Amino acid sequence: MNLDLNKIKELIPHRHPFLFVDSCKIIESGKRGISKRKFLPSEYFFEGHFPTNPIVPGVIIVEAMAQTAGIVVSHSFENVKDKSVLFMSVNKAKFRKPIKPNDIIEFEVNFLNKVKSVYKFEGIARNNDIIVSQSEFSAMITFGNILK
């Protein structure tokens, strides 16, 4: 199932300028998905990271992977109102190649395990089928809007 930006906004609370996913393909609800993002030259972080050689910060790459996992998990609870996915940890992050302005990146996430309400995923970021980053991370899903 392919999700556009409007559907993504129904599943996670992130908004511009901190939404780093343009589209997402749910391969297996709650388990696996692939999102895409084109990093435009006008992105706010390129101005300072780095002005003469702009690259996407590593924390943004990991955040995009985590947002993808949040979409995949939230999709499995699509009919539940007032849910939140909260980033908890990041491990084994590796940054292999820089991501530059106009690069289109695929963020693939795969479910590893779940303990109570905490989901653990692995993520891989690719630019033209070349791995540029990978990480493991966990997030907790909560019901009832704790963000208010």
Structure tokens at 78: 């699509």
The β-bridge relationship of strands 83-95 and 32-38 is: unpaired
Residues 6+ apart with CB under 8 A from 104: 36, 37, 38, 127
Active site (annotated) includes residue 16 = no
CA pair distance 114, 129, nearest whole angstrom: 28
Given 14, 16, 49, 75, which residue is catalytic?
Answer: 49
3-to-84, 136, 148 alpha-carbon distances in Å: 19, 23, 26
Adjacent-strand bridge partners of 135: 123
| Greatest pairwise CA separation for the chain in angstroms | 46
CA pair distance 12, 8, nearest whole angstrom: 6
Catalytically active residues are 49
